[in-house]
Amino acid sequence: MGAYLCPPSVIHGEHAVETGQILAEVRSRHPQAPWLPRIDRIAESTGIVSRGWMLPLEAATAPGRGSGLRTPGVGPAREALARDGFTDQEVNRVIAALEAIPAPQTVEERTAPAWAAVQTYGERAARQALEIAGLDTSDVDCLITSHSTTPALPGLDLSLLNQLPLRNDVLLLPATQWACIAGTRSLALAADLVAADPDRVVLVVISEALSTTYQPADDTLESLIVRLLFADTAVAAVVTGRPRTESVLRLDAAWHHTLPGTSDLHRLDTRADGTHFVMDRRGPRAVQETVAAMWRWLRERHQDDTEAWHPDLLLAHPGGTRVLEYMEQTMPDAWPERLLAYSRDSYTTGNRGGAAVLDILRRACDAGQKPGSRTVLYAAAPGLTATALEGEWL
């Protein structure tokens, strides 16, 4: 494969949303929820005290601009009240009271400001990544982008081409639906592109406003967990076919794995009030299957090594701490401890979706790594699909 990765840029959401703020909002809105007595223990189990959002919490919890009684419903409501014997004056008072009830935000009200933020954050991350790599916008030959919770057409690829700006012959590869594997799979695709043309420069940009899945009206336990988990982040990185002074990691091999019949375990549902992230409790077990498959891939890849092979770093985004624990329990006993330290550190400030692996990689970069340190990057995403990469620090 022989692709070379420069240090990624990471732009965290600038609005700090504390777990205590979320719990207070949930308590006030759902005082009768059956899981409310356990809410503090549930929040503590995530290990997340604060997460950064591109927009403040108030943007997600504010009512919509419309009223609870939509215009088409006024006529039938009046007729029903009149049939029940209400006077015209009483009917007017009831209709006025119903119209004063705020409606939930619409898809447009939730998505439009988030999409604007995704573009702004993505541009900042892209410019910073190019600066880190010592390159200019004119040097970019290919752009790979992802943003899963803010659907738009044209998407982030066209936005960046115009705003940076990039050359008009740049190959644009939007990968919106990659979600949590956007980091690993974008790097794998970039590595294939530079293998075909070593002089090619590939820019990867992932900008995720996962806070758009915060749905105040939902009263399910799964919705509570979604509220607590997600953070907003934009990341970017440059991949080249030849080593540069700024290169920090050589990517040597990629692995992909998809489990048929699991597309219903995690998904985005678009409803009248915006995007809902739906999780099935069978999800972690399915992710564990991809982890086991990755272990087999690494074992087969290194079965002829004269010394017992092991990674020095494992930069993984399996979706949650439960699967991180499974990874620690199932890796060979001879492997070093704390392989997942940077992954766990990243999770303390939220699940970043497709941006997570590059955030984890940045933490490893900032800590400093010995040349030759063997590294595995892994992520799993709704589908259920996974991608891993193996490489060495330069």
Residue 338 lies in a domain: yes
Encode pLDDT of 56-83 as tens digits.
Answer: 999 998 877 765 555 555 667 667 767 7
Q: What is the rounded distance in angstroms from the CA atom of residue 383 to the CA atom of residue 314?
A: 23
Residue 137 banded pLDDT, cuts 50, 70, 90: very high
Are 273 and 383 in a shared domain? yes
Domain boundary pick from 213, 240, 267: 240
Q: What is the rounded distance in angstroms from the CA atom of residue 35 to the CA atom of residue 188?
A: 41
Encode pLDDT of 151-170 as tens digits.
Answer: 889 999 999 999 999 999 99
Structure-token match 């290990």, residue found: 47
pLDDT of 136? 98
Residue 335 lies in a domain: yes
Q: What is the rounded distance in angstroms from the CA atom of residue 389 to the CA atom of residue 377?
A: 5
Are 231 and 362 in a shared domain? no
Please state, for a pLDDT cut of 70, what percent of the chain lies above it: 94
Encode pLDDT of 207-236 as tens digits.
Answer: 999 999 999 988 999 999 999 999 999 999
Are 366 and 274 in a shared domain? yes
Are 174 and 322 in a shared domain? no
Are 139 and 228 in a shared domain? yes
Are 119 and 158 in a shared domain? yes
Residue 188 lies in a domain: yes
Nearest to 206 by CA among 233, 167, 171: 233
Q: Which two tokens stand for residue 112?
A: 């439009």
Encode pLDDT of 372-388 as tens digits.
Answer: 999 999 999 998 999 99
Cis-peptide, bond into residue 56, ω within 30° of zero: no
Q: Tell me the average pLDDT across 114-118.
A: 96
Residue 32 lies in a domain: yes
Q: What is the rounded distance in angstroms from the CA atom of residue 81 to the CA atom of residue 96?
A: 13
CATH, residue 205? 3.40.47.10
Residue 87 lies in a domain: no
Query: Of residues 95 and 191, which shows the higher confidence score?
Result: 191
pTM: 0.90
pLDDT at 34 over 80: yes
pLDDT, the chain, mean: 91
Q: Which residues contact 119 (CB under 8 A, 6 or more apart)?
A: 156, 159, 160, 163, 207
Are 283 and 236 in a shared domain? no
CA distances from 276 to 102, 110, 209, 283 (A): 20, 11, 13, 16
Encode pLDDT of 322-361 as tens digits.
Answer: 889 999 999 988 899 899 999 999 999 999 999 999 999 9
Backbone φ, ψ for residue 343 (5° rounding): -65, -45
pLDDT of 235? 98
Are 256 and 226 in a shared domain? no
Q: What is the rounded distance in angstroms from the CA atom of residue 87 to the CA atom of residue 37?
A: 45
Domain boundary pick from 202, 219, 240: 240
Domain, as residue range, for 194? 3-62+106-240
Are 127 and 176 in a shared domain? yes
Task: Give the β-pairing of 15-18 and 142-146.
Answer: unpaired
Are 220 and 199 in a shared domain? yes
Are 230 and 205 in a shared domain? yes
How many domains is the chain partitioned into structurally? 2
Catalogue the E-assigned strands of the chain: 3-5, 9-12, 15-18, 50-53, 142-146, 171-174, 201-209, 232-240, 249-258, 266-271, 274-279, 313-317, 374-381, 385-393
